[in-house]
């Protein structure tokens, strides 16, 4: 996956939209490995599974009241009555990345109807080599049927 796209989208939340805090929930942990690659100017990434809510509040409100943060959570957002960070969440932005949409963009496919088709074959796209080979074969107007014909049973589309 192209982590630079994620980095660009997050940077836009801070620089263009002017947010100080961005919550990023990733319950499937699809983008956990991307965290080490992110290089956002003057923005810290905090994993909410590694820091307590009290620690986060103290850091944000007392230790670094002007700092900018991405709060990455490899779980679903809590219910409002269970969310110790709700007050922060109310003035912050949220961010989400979905692998199928990013694959569509990376492959240059224009058919939004292919999102579920690609999502159903997520294991195939773990291999960067297969993704690169497929990029050479597809064109923007390709459909699910054309993708299936390209590779037969060994292709992402025949899985």
Quick: pLDDT tens for 15-49.
888 899 999 998 888 888 888 888 888 899 999 99
Statement to judge: residues 81 and 107 lie in one domain: no
b/e string for 70-84 if b means 16 or more Cβ within 10 A?
bbbbbeebbeeeeee
Q: What angle in degrees, to the nearest 10, is found between the helix axes of 99-107 and 3-15?
A: 110
pLDDT tens profile 71-107: 999 999 999 999 999 999 999 998 877 777 778 777 8
Domain boundary among 56, 77, 95: 95
Please count the structural domains in the chain: 2
Report the percentage of the chain scoring pLDDT > 70.
93
pTM: 0.68
Q: Which residues form the domain of 62?
A: 3-95
The DSSP secondary structure of 111-150, one letter per residue, reads -TTHHHHHHTTTTGGG-HHHHHHHHHH--TT--HHHHHHH
Identify the residue whose tokens are 């299936």: 148
């Amino acid at each position: 996956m192209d982590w630079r796209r994620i980095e660009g989208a997050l940077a836009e939340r801070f620089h263009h939209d002017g947010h100080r805090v961005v919550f990023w929930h990733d319950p499937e942990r699809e983008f956990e490995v991307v965290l080490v690659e992110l290089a956002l100017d003057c923005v810290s990434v905090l994993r909410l599974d590694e820091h307590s809510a009290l620690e986060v509040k103290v850091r944000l409100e007392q230790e670094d009241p002007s700092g900018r943060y991405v709060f990455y959570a490899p779980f679903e957002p809590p219910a409002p009555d269970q969310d110790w960070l709700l007050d922060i969440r109310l003035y912050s932005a949220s961010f989400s990345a979905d692998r199928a949409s990013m694959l569509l963009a990376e492959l240059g496919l224009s058919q939004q109807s292919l999102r579920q088709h690609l999502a159903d074959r997520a294991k195939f796209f773990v291999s960067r080599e297969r993704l690169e080979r497929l990029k050479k074969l597809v064109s923007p107007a390709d459909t699910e049927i054309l993708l299936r014909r390209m590779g037969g049973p060994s292709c992402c589309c025949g899985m």
